[in-house]
């Protein structure tokens, strides 16, 4: 069954350099994340101007196409058409060019964590709501209702190493069950020690954040286990699976195919399991503790300044997709301390961005801007700010700067108050319960977050209301207070008599997607085409099926009679003007046999588009009505 995203998906695949240019494909909440062999083969400007795409970002070794909230649906169609595989990964070889260490790190983090974030946030929301209900005595924390829901809320997080073993295996191209088996081994040892209540033989670095217990030995070598265990940890399993990818690749080249299916995972696990506990796990735990100490030291020096910096730059990190780098730090803090303080100051940023969009919505008189603001505001309320950033605030610069300043104030308040979050919860309004300490039923953290968010919202909204003006056209006459010159605006009259429809109704991807220009389609009632403007014929195909005009006021207009009618090779078309002719409004340019074209099996639905749409702030039209020759069809602002 055809999807409404088929045309968009095909345009995306075509303009990223085709299927053969794709190494891997994943998606997060709002964007498709391609890993391309050669990014220079991608037609970035075409994609940016395609309806249905918010913008394109090239960062962290990824070619990111920002779609919006419906990205999972678009991903599914792109993946189906491209046949990249169940995980959205193309069966292509890695490029020889190596990414920088920073880009590679972001690529790994996003690839491993992106598939889990939706459910991780969902379970966090359940956990937060349970804390809220327990605090207000709506349900008892000792009752079955609480315990049953808490099982999934905390269970997903507790067994995260197994789930990350799966996603890391996909990322590193390892047998997925091998990755899960390594995660299960980490948790199994934790559970066995907990059930047996074993005391450690010795403790290395006792009394420090790097404390590591020794419970047993393997071939005489001490098996080191972090004092917090491996449950809910993230870095150890990711590194373990990476090591397993090298070991598995080694055995795949040397084990005969007839026994490869069981010998390769057996040998891989037999080597990597002790290696994980003896080397990889302790090193990963050490790095995790070190990162935690560094962040604690930064906040210890000045939680206010740390909050201001993190709050102000969060949206900048989002633009480049670098916010992924903060996820492992937060997860490590949850595992080591039971709480996180790094992400807390950033919570106000999405609300600041959303408040700016609300102010723009109320202040603007431009209908297109309003139409963009409404869905961006709704998304922002629930913590998804990419539509707001790319569609509203960043192109106008000042609103984006205001949102960053407001977020800095909110982040400073939250940081100075020493607020901790106790779970990865929902985004936006669903995130507040994450700041309730379920163990002590302390809601002071949530109250401080509410104060920080309120401050950010007020500053962002009031400042934007006071300073925002719709951007004037880029025209010297307008800036001097005069009537705009001919290149600044204009009206396109209807060149055809018939019914006005949306471009999306055309059975042609290039026109229906708006790649060739914005405008309308007309179902003609008569076989005549009149000039819609005073101007010049810039192109007139020898077949007569299409004509390009440039209006005296600057608009470049393409009119195409029917779809695929070039195949008629000029039959049923009679030109009444020539390329290079100066024309006036209402002048007959072309005649065509409407009935004959339809009898030949061709659609006569005809697009009328403005090909230099980027020169105008808005292109206004009304679909669903009937027009006569010379009636106003499109207004350019």
Q: What is the pLDDT of residues 370-385, one digit of tens each?
A: 877 888 888 788 777 7
Percent over 70 (pLDDT), the chain: 87
Q: What is the DSSP letter of 253?
A: T
How many angstroms separate the CA atoms of 16 and 65, rounded?
10
pTM value surpassing 0.75: no
How many angstroms separate the CA atoms of 413 and 296, rounded?
17
pLDDT digits 0-9 by tens, 589-609: 999 999 999 999 999 999 999
How many angstroms separate the CA atoms of 436 and 446, rounded?
6
Strand order in the sheet with 588-592: 528-530, 588-592, 573-575
Residue 459 pLDDT class (50, 70, 90 cuts):
very high
Burial of 108 (0-12, 13-18, 19+ CB in 10 A): buried
Residue 475 pLDDT exceeds 70: no
Residue 575 pLDDT class (50, 70, 90 cuts):
very high
State the pLDDT at residue 193: 67
Residue 355 pLDDT class (50, 70, 90 cuts):
very high
How many angstroms separate the CA atoms of 477 and 479, rounded?
5
Lowest mean pLDDT among 195-199, 266-270, 327-331: 195-199
State the pLDDT at residue 532: 95
Q: Are 606 and 524 in contact (CB under 8 A)?
A: yes
Nearest one of 211, 215, 233 to 278, comparing CA atoms: 215
Residue 89 pLDDT exceeds 50: no
Q: Which residues pair with 24 in a beta bridge?
A: 35
**CA angle at residue 61 from 57 to 65, to 5 degrees?**
30
Three-state DSSP state, 28: coil
Mean confidence (pLDDT) of the chain = 82
Q: Which residues are catalytic?
A: 28, 560
Greatest extent of the chain over all pairs of C-alpha atoms, in Å: 97
Q: Are 610 and 634 in contact (CB under 8 A)?
A: yes
Three-state DSSP state, 392: helix
Q: Which two tokens stand for residue 8?
A: 């968009």
Nearest one of 386, 403, 420 to 456, comparing CA atoms: 403
Q: Which two tokens stand for residue 592?
A: 């065509």
The residue with greater pLDDT, 166 or 211, is: 166
Residue carrying the six token digits 């801007």: 369
**CA angle at residue 205 from 199 to 209, to 5 degrees?**
95
**CA angle at residue 127 from 122 to 130, to 5 degrees?**
125
Lowest mean pLDDT among 17-26, 37-46, 106-115, 245-254: 106-115
State the pLDDT at residue 617: 66
State the pLDDT at residue 12: 92
Residue 550 pLDDT exceeds 60: yes
State the pLDDT at residue 484: 39
Q: C-alpha 398: how far from its chain's center?
A: 23
Residue carrying the six token digits 């049953």: 148
Residue carrying the six token digits 């400042």: 463
**CA angle at residue 16 from 11 to 20, to 5 degrees?**
110
């Amino acid at each position: 069954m055809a999807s409404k995203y088929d045309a968009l998906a095909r345009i995306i695949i075509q303009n990223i350099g085709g299927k053969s240019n794709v190494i891997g494909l994943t998606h997060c909440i709002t964007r498709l994340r391609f890993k391309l062999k050669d990014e220079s083969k991608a037609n970035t400007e075409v994609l940016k101007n395609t309806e249905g795409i918010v913008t394109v970002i090239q960062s962290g070794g990824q070619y990111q196409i920002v779609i919006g909230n419906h990205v999972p649906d678009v991903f599914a169609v792109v993946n189906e058409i491209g046949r990249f595989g169940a995980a959205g990964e193309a069966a292509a070889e890695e490029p020889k060019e190596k990414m920088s260490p920073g880009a590679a790190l972001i690529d790994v983090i996003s690839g491993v964590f992106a598939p889990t974030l939706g459910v991780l946030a969902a379970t966090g929301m359940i956990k937060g709501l349970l804390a809220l209900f327990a605090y207000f005595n709506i349900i008892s924390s000792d009752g079955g209702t609480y315990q049953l829901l808490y099982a999934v809320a905390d269970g997903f997080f507790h067994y995260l190493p197994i789930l990350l073993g799966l996603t890391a295996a996909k990322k590193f191209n390892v047998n997925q069950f091998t990755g899960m088996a390594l995660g299960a081994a980490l948790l199994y040892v934790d559970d066995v020690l907990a059930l047996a209540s074993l005391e450690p033989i010795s403790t290395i670095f006792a009394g420090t954040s790097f404390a590591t217990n020794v419970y047993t030995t393997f071939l005489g070598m001490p098996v080191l286990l972090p004092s917090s265990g491996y449950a809910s940890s993230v870095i150890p399993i990711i590194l373990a699976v990476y090591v397993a990818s090298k070991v598995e690749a080694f055995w795949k080249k040397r084990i005969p195919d007839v026994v490869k299916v069981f010998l390769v995972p057996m040998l891989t696990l037999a080597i990597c399991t002790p290696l994980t506990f003896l080397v990889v796990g302790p090193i990963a735990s050490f790095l995790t503790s070190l990162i935690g100490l560094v962040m604690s030291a930064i906040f210890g020096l000045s939680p206010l300044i740390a909050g201001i910096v993190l709050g102000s730059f969060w949206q900048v990190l989002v633009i480049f997709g670098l916010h992924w780098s903060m996820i492992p730090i937060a997860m490590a803090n949850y595992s080591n301390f039971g709480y996180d303080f790094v992400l807390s100051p950033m919570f106000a940023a999405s609300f600041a961005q959303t408040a700016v969009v609300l102010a723009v919505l109320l202040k603007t008189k431009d209908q297109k801007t309003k139409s963009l603001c409404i869905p961006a505001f709704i998304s922002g309320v629930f913590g998804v700010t990419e539509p707001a950033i790319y569609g509203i605030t960043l192109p106008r610069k000042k609103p984006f700067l205001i949102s960053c300043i407001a977020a800095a104030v909110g982040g400073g308040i939250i940081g100075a108050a020493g607020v901790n979050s106790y779970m990865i919860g929902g985004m936006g309004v669903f995130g507040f319960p994450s700041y309730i300490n379920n163990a002590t039923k302390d809601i002071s953290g949530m109250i401080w977050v509410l104060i920080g968010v309120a401050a950010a919202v007020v500053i962002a909204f009031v400042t934007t209301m006071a300073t925002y003006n719709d951007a004037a056209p880029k025209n010297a006459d307008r800036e001097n207070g005069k009537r705009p010159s001919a290149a600044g605006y204009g009206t396109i009259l209807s060149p055809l008599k018939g019914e006005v429809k949306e471009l999306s109704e055309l059975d042609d991807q290039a026109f229906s997607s708006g790649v060739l220009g914005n405008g309308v389609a007309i179902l003609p009632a008569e076989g005549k085409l009149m000039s819609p403007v005073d101007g010049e014929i810039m192109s007139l195909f020898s077949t007569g099926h299409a004509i390009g005009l440039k209006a005296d006021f600057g608009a470049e207009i393409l009119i195409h009679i029917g779809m695929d009618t070039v195949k008629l090779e000029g039959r049923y078309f009679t030109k009444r003007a020539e390329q290079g002719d100066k024309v006036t409004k209402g002048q007959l340019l072309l005649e065509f046999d409407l009935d004959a074209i339809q009898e030949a099996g061709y659609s006569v639905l005809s697009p009328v588009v403005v090909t230099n749409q980027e020169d105008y702030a808005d292109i206004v039209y009304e679909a669903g009505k009937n027009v006569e020759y010379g009636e106003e069809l499109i207004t350019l602002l």
